[in-house]
Structure 1
Amino acid sequence: MTRPQDFPGTVNVRPASGNQPFDVAADGGLYVAQGTLNLFLTRKDSARRHYLATLGPHALLRTARDTVPDGWRLLAVGGPETKVALVPSDEIPATANVQTLDDSIKSTVQRIADAIAAEPERIASLSAQQREALQGAIAGLATVMDGSATPFRPSVTQIGQLTSVLDELGGYLGVTFPPVDRVTAGDSDVIQMQLRAARCRSRVVTLPSRWWKRPGAAYLGFAENGSIPIALIPQRAGYVMRDPADGRVREIDGDLAARFSSTAYVVYAPFPEDASAGAISRSVLKTVRGDLGWLLGFGLLAGVVALVTPLAVAAVFGSVLPTQASGLLAAVTALLAGAAVTLALVTYTQNVVSVRLEGKVAAVLEPGLTDRLLRLPSEFFRKYDTGDLAARAVGLEQIRQLVSGGVLTALLGMVFSLISVGVLFVYSPELGLVALLVISAVLVALGMLNVRSVRQQSTALTDMGNLTAMIYQVIRSISKVRVAGAEQRILARWAIRYRAQQRATYLGSTAQAWVTAITAALPPILALSFYASVTAGFAGDISDGRFLAVLTAAGQFTAALTTLAFAIGPLLAVVPLWHRVKVILDEPAERTGSEQPGALTGKVSVRAVSFAYPGIDESVLSGISIEVEPGEFVAITGHSGSGKSTLLRLILGLDNPTAGVVAYDGKDLRSLDASLVRRQFGVVMQNASPLPGAILTSIVGDSGATEDDAWRAAEAADLADDIRRMPMRMQTIVGEGGLTFSGGQVQRMMIARALVRHPRIVLLDEATSALDDKAQAAVSQRLEQLRTTRIVIAHRLSTIRNADRIYVLEQGRIAEFGTFTELMAHDGPFRELARRQMATPKD
């Protein structure tokens, strides 16, 4: 052990606490006078530390400049009481016990280099696992397959089989599939085409283990190595199929399941076009009819079993006690015990069936509403704030939660407890009449209070929607709020809306409190009415046993009514919730043609197009005509508000022109399946932002593209070098709205997303406005290398300098068009735009 006095010179000891790390780079020795010192190896371009060793008190480490390789640092980090000294080489005692880290440093550098080389593969593998796990958790019905299914192309002999399978699947889902003909069967993926024709959504999934014993969604599976399509229909205990050999329906077991491919389609039925409450209820009933029948049956059985109690009370007090009949008492006791066990089993089974029913209802409602939202026309979303619309969209799920489960059980219990009211009339018609009058008066009072509660809940939900919309807007614009110093004004606006919402909630809760109070008072009121009736002689000569049986039956009914009263409050929210979600369901879905567009060549025609927003007489666009040939680069420019973005929306089919035609390859867009046309686009809209998640996910989306495709798209968008400099590369997390990235990086990420599908047509709306001149030039150069049609909207003229044609819009009309050189050659709107951008300030 080396002591300070062992050194020939003076040792300058200094503190080396944990918050003051330092580089060990000089030749000589590092002496720990007090405490402990941790040594780490770090790369100069990274903050990550790699542990090497810990030096204890009085340890001496020999250091040299060439010990640490280029690009690395040897970092020393001490504890709270650590003190160290740097000792020159010539002052290190010959007898000192000197430590070295040469071997540790070399092995650590090699280990880190190997890890860095394997990092991309590790990250790719981890990413694939995370994507599969995340998609499986969201889907919840089956494990999502990483990739896409091989398209099924039926032979001539299989066309009839596929038609029969789709008819069987459609019969279960309540949809009609068009017949498969020879032309249709030649499509690249006939199944997807048939599903789209029937407006059904689907997912390709990997069938879970022992799937045939866990009924859930309906599958379109494949037998015999994927050559024979089979409809797999869920039943109460498993799945059944129709054998293509003999047409018989067979229950699927393990041996039969082994013949199926591991991948299948999960098919979701859409809501009916008339998405009324009755139509949606009928759609749900097709799926849950069997479970609902079981639930009703068990509810009726529970009501009948409950009759045992008043009958036993009448027997005990009317016959057993007066006659001291011990044998009859034993029989009554056994009967009550059996009734208790039966009622417990019935209640348990009811709850199990209720849970299964909830799952089936959710499997119909949630995909149906999501599909409905995705099919709504774009003008619908301009009518509502995003926050309010999101609150409305979850309304159907809230209704399902309110109606299902305990509320439904309580409602059925109340209905079947009416049997107990019948018992009152059997034992004493007079007391039954008294009970009926009291219950009727109570129900009238409860009805009036519930009407008031529904009115207040409706107001509260509307206020909550407005409040949610405001909060969403504030969160999205929080930077602007802070820059403007508007926090106090925003808080004041929020407080006003929150107070209104809370006031309506309070009034509704007050009404429900009265409902609960009146229901709780019903049993003593009924008992008091019975006692008064008997005392007044209204009930005639009634025995003690029969009177007690009447009290017991009345108690059973009031208990069921009390349970329902506690559940009725949340159930009443169904009415205002339905009125809010009905706005979504009443909106007609986007109308598109059914003609298949095929592979687009890139030819786009805009012929005499005019457009005006509904309810506004003045046209936004008038008489616009543009011709774009395959592979051309066409630019659209003009002042703000001239109609450029509106024209792009018309080209995309997001809005329909009030006059004129938008055509692709000579076919009117209104006659084509717009979704199939848009699948061949690469689009970057103005102010587009990435989805939260990894960069890879943001670029690839649900396109099925690989990470290699994402890198190629990033190269085309001049983003790849930026991604390589990030520690996690393609797995770097993108926050909400891409706030952790620069505006230029976000725009290039959106361009990469647009290019990853290898689109036939690329449409960019101010997609490079946040880039500097150098980055913008690099992106433009890479885009010019693509063999695809490009339609670009831009204010910056350097973006469109190399366009084959430039169209200049003014007040919704084409003012002029031509090449950059042609437009600059004469005095016009374009030259004026150029002059403003090229002007330099005078001294």
Structure 2
Amino acid sequence: MPGTRLIELPLAKIQAYAAELEYSHLITLMVEEWIRNLSAGINADVLPKEYVLVETGQSLQLAGGQIVMARRETVWLSCTSSASGTLSYLGRSDLLLTTDAVLPLTIGHWATAAAAPNATHIGAASTSAVLTSPAPLGHTLVAFHGLILSAAQTKRDHDAVAEASRLHAKKQAEQQTMHNAIQDLVAPLHTATRRISTHQPDWVGTGLFEACKVIGEYLQIGIQPVKRATAQMSMGYMLKLIAQSSHMQLREVALRGSWWTQDNGPLLAFVLDGDQKPVALLPKTERTYELVNPRVGTATTVTSEVAATLSPIAYTFYKSFSQRTLRPLDVLRFGFHKSSRDVRTVLLVSLIITLVGLLTPIVTGIAFNQFIPAGDTRSLIAMGVALVVFALICSALQIARGIAMVRLQSRFDATVQAALWDRLLQLPADFFRRFAAGDLGARAMGISELRRTLSGHTVSTLINGMFSVANLLLLFVYSPTLALVAVALAVFAFCVTLSVSVLTVRSQRALQRMNVKLSGTILQILTGVTKFRVAGAEHFAFGLWAADFGELKQRYYKSRHASNVLTVFNGAFPLIAALGVFGMLAVSGRAALPVGDFLAFNLAFTQFMSAWMQVGSVVVIALSAVSTFEQIQPILETQPEVDETKVDPGDLSGRVEVSHVFFRYSEKTQYILKDISL
């Protein structure tokens, strides 16, 4: 710093100043600062978990391998007996403390008693005591400087080796990535086989990482290796480290009954042998599983015999959201991952149901135009039987569609809800200051509310409305003029439904905000109910709840009023639309339209308007999901507090230190705590 003056003093003169009362405290602080700065350059990465604390003035007897650390300030250790053992600095055999030397020990550093026939007797002195002792300060500091230089040299060599190992591992990872990329490019040329990686990482020989990697490829999760994992770690702890480094969640599940005949998602299981070899269980179809053993590169279909060789305990993985800001489309894509088969089933079955439904008006028209005038009873009976068969087919298809939709909803709810809570737990601390606890809990459970809102009935109705266009095309086949009237009526109904839905969404948005606010208020009241009773302020708590609850009911009434208007309209409009079609037919004077064609047209028109009006009734319910999603949006838009560039610090260790604490209740009272250091 500017103005700083450097004064060179011999160590003997410094030691002489330390004996004088005027300079002793300053010299002590300077020497301790020098010791701390030198020691800080060789801080160990991990502190020992078991050690003995020592203070100045203490004498200890240490067994071989026992560790001693300073409790508070810098202490100077020395071996007090010539028959005693020796101490090693930081537990290293090359940094031994001779019997005639003194070792300064700062907080965060330690000494280990070397293995010896006799116990190691040590004494701990303060810096001021060492400075005023007859022993020359130069000899003491030179010995300590030698230890520090040796430790620094070793640390530099170790860091160089670690950096070289890191670069080598990075190069191997790049080569493996290129190898996998090339195999992926040529995979379409070998569709009969599936590549299973058998590369084993250096840090573990159990194949756990590779089994997790197979499941990660299925779920599109980047499984990251754990640098600090060793083969001595337990399987469960190693799995926990892999999950943490890969930003995913685990859940232990039990393999009971005929579990392999149900779709339970990918699982990590263990073979019942001496080594508990980990394997990946991947869904092959909806009712079959495939066991992948990455160590030998085999894939086997799971049967009852194969299942008997597995441990009854397995693990299921939960994929996390991307660390970036998420949009609604991202959430939908995430929730419906690996669900394309069920989505195709729902759409295909809905199309078939719609096409089968077209047969009813067509068959009715044929019956009234041909079979009834001709008195063809046999054909009428055959047609009736065909209609019954068509109805049974539609019922079976609706059951299949319902099962597929239940699978879709269950998978979406489980994956997205778990990912949402995982993201919530990773958000920065300032995010939680913006919301009350109840408010945040209601927002986090919004995914379940979305699933209930967009239930099977709602989605089925929307899909039926989409495919009802086929009935509209049939109307143009029978009468283009009347079909245009039907289109005009449908457009009018759509405009009315859309207008009411916009008003409903506005009311629902305010209702949703009020609902989460009330949830937070209720939680705060329940949390502080004891304080309310002690203060006799129950009526204030009741008034606080009543104000929010009353406003909630008012907004609910407004929201329901718009929904009731739409319900009345949906109930009355089909009859009005039918009257409009009949009136148009009468006004146009087109009596040439055969009775059968008119009945077929009327049935197709009824089916079309019924599906369209049902869409109008559920569109309000579907649009209410918009306000629910808006409540979840802050969680999805806030980026998690996860930095991929930071290094895993390993197991954290430390202690709480209290230094020179004074406390009293007021300035006029005595100190309860006076200069307490712990």
Structure 1 residue identity aligned to 2:288? G
Cα distance per residue 1:479-531 (max 9 Å; x no partner): 22233333333333333322221121111111111211221123212211211
1:239 aligns with 2:289: yes
| Shift of residue 600, structure 1, vs aligned partner | 4.2
The CA distance in 2 between the partners of 1:535 and 1:468, in whole Å, is 59
- Structure 1 window deviating more from structure 2 (301-310 vs 406-415): it is 406-415
Kept after mapping to 2: 8 A contact 1:519/1:561? no
1:258 aligns with 2:308: yes
1:210 aligns with 2:258: yes
| Shift of residue 162, structure 1, vs aligned partner | 4.5
1:546 aligns with 2:597: yes
Kept after mapping to 1: 8 A contact 2:207/2:278? yes
Q: 2:320 is paired with a residue of what secondary structure?
A: coil
1:221 alignment partner in structure 2 = 269
Q: Structure 2: where are the runs of 5+ without partners?
A: 1-199
The CA distance in 2 between the partners of 1:391 and 1:245, in whole Å, is 45
| Shift of residue 541, structure 1, vs aligned partner | 3.3
The CA distance in 1 between the partners of 2:333 and 2:205, in whole Å, is 31
Cα distance per residue 1:810-829 (max 9 Å; x no partner): xxxxxxxx4x6xx79xxxx9
| Shift of residue 394, structure 1, vs aligned partner | 1.3
Cα distance per residue 1:324-374 (max 9 Å; x no partner): 222321231122111111111111222222222222112212211111121
Given the superposition, is the C-alpha separation of residues 471 and 830 from structure 1 closer, same or farther in structure 2, using an over 3 Å criterion? Answer: closer
Structure 1 residue identity aligned to 2:412? V
Q: 2:314 is paired with a residue of what secondary structure?
A: strand
| Shift of residue 830, structure 1, vs aligned partner | 11
Structure 1 residue identity aligned to 2:656? R
TM-score, length basis structure 2: 0.64
The CA distance in 1 between the partners of 2:585 and 2:230, in whole Å, is 80
The CA distance in 2 between the partners of 1:180 and 1:498, in whole Å, is 51
Q: 1:835 is paired with a residue of what secondary structure?
A: coil
1:298 aligns with 2:349: yes
Structure 2 residue identity aligned to 1:310? P
| Shift of residue 259, structure 1, vs aligned partner | 2.0
Cα distance per residue 1:393-412 (max 9 Å; x no partner): 11111001211322112222
The CA distance in 1 between the partners of 2:669 and 2:369, in whole Å, is 106
1:199 aligns with 2:247: yes
Given the superposition, is the C-alpha separation of residues 566 and 250 from structure 1 closer, same or farther in structure 2, using an over 3 Å criterion? Answer: farther
| Shift of residue 253, structure 1, vs aligned partner | 0.8
| Shift of residue 163, structure 1, vs aligned partner | 4.9
Higher relative contact order (CA 8 A, sep 6+): 2
Cα distance per residue 1:592-613 (max 9 Å; x no partner): 56423234452xxxxxxxxxxx
1:598 aligns with 2:647: no
Given the superposition, is the C-alpha separation of residues 325 and 158 from structure 1 closer, same or farther in structure 2, using an over 3 Å criterion? Answer: farther
The CA distance in 2 between the partners of 1:517 and 1:401, in whole Å, is 24
1:581 alignment partner in structure 2 = 632
TM-score, length basis structure 1: 0.52
2:149 alignment partner in structure 1 = none
Structure 2 residue identity aligned to 1:302? I
The CA distance in 2 between the partners of 1:539 and 1:268, in whole Å, is 65
The CA distance in 2 between the partners of 1:599 and 1:413, in whole Å, is 56
Structure 1 residue identity aligned to 2:280? A
Given the superposition, is the C-alpha separation of residues 530 and 601 from structure 1 closer, same or farther in structure 2, using an over 3 Å criterion? Answer: closer
1:835 aligns with 2:665: no
Given the superposition, is the C-alpha separation of residues 159 and 276 from structure 1 closer, same or farther in structure 2, using an over 3 Å criterion? Answer: farther
> How do 1:295-694 residues align onto structure 2 when only pairs under 5 Å count?
295-537=346-588, 541-592=592-643, 594-602=646-654
Structure 1 residue identity aligned to 2:244? R
Given the superposition, is the C-alpha separation of residues 601 and 416 from structure 1 closer, same or farther in structure 2, using an over 3 Å criterion? Answer: closer
The CA distance in 2 between the partners of 1:371 and 1:590, in whole Å, is 12
Q: 1:287 is paired with a residue of what secondary structure?
A: coil
Q: 1:512 is paired with a residue of what secondary structure?
A: helix
| Shift of residue 567, structure 1, vs aligned partner | 3.1
- Structure 1 window deviating more from structure 2 (259-268 vs 203-212): it is 203-212
The CA distance in 2 between the partners of 1:519 and 1:174, in whole Å, is 45
Given the superposition, is the C-alpha separation of residues 520 and 312 from structure 1 closer, same or farther in structure 2, using an over 3 Å criterion? Answer: same
Structure 2 residue identity aligned to 1:259? T
Find 2:656's aligned residue among 787, 790, 807: 790
Structure 2 residue identity aligned to 1:330? I
2:211 alignment partner in structure 1 = 165
Kept after mapping to 1: 8 A contact 2:269/2:280? yes
Q: Give aligned-pair identity as a percent.
A: 26
2:57 alignment partner in structure 1 = none
Kept after mapping to 1: 8 A contact 2:365/2:599? yes
Kept after mapping to 2: 8 A contact 1:159/1:181? no
The CA distance in 2 between the partners of 1:494 and 1:598, in whole Å, is 47
Q: 1:209 is paired with a residue of what secondary structure?
A: coil
> How do 1:691-730 residues align onto structure 2 when only pairs under 5 Å count?
none
Cα distance per residue 1:286-308 (max 9 Å; x no partner): 13221121111111111111111
Structure 2 residue identity aligned to 1:173? L
Kept after mapping to 1: 8 A contact 2:204/2:231? no
| Shift of residue 280, structure 1, vs aligned partner | 1.2
> How do 1:66-85 residues align onto structure 2 when only pairs under 5 Å count?
none
Kept after mapping to 2: 8 A contact 1:197/1:594? no
1:174 aligns with 2:40: no
Structure 2 residue identity aligned to 1:344? S
Q: Between Structure 1 and Structure 2, which shows a larger proportion of helix residues?
A: 2
Given the superposition, is the C-alpha separation of residues 156 and 468 from structure 1 closer, same or farther in structure 2, using an over 3 Å criterion? Answer: closer
Structure 2 residue identity aligned to 1:199? H
The CA distance in 1 between the partners of 2:667 and 2:557, in whole Å, is 62
The CA distance in 2 between the partners of 1:270 and 1:541, in whole Å, is 65
| Shift of residue 229, structure 1, vs aligned partner | 2.2
| Shift of residue 187, structure 1, vs aligned partner | 5.8
Structure 2 residue identity aligned to 1:212? W
The CA distance in 1 between the partners of 2:665 and 2:557, in whole Å, is 61
Q: Structure 1: where are the runs of 5+ without partners?
A: 1-153, 603-788, 792-804, 807-817
Kept after mapping to 1: 8 A contact 2:365/2:596? yes
The CA distance in 1 between the partners of 2:518 and 2:456, in whole Å, is 30
The CA distance in 1 between the partners of 2:203 and 2:632, in whole Å, is 46
Find 1:283's aligned residue among 313, 331, 334: 334
Structure 1 residue identity aligned to 2:650? G
Cα distance per residue 1:576-604 (max 9 Å; x no partner): 000011111212112356423234452xx
| Backbone CA RMSD of aligned residues | 2.8
| Shift of residue 452, structure 1, vs aligned partner | 0.3
| Shift of residue 186, structure 1, vs aligned partner | 6.7
| Shift of residue 319, structure 1, vs aligned partner | 1.2
Find 2:322's aligned residue among 272, 275, 294: 272
Kept after mapping to 2: 8 A contact 1:438/1:526? yes
Given the superposition, is the C-alpha separation of residues 432 and 161 from structure 1 closer, same or farther in structure 2, using an over 3 Å criterion? Answer: farther
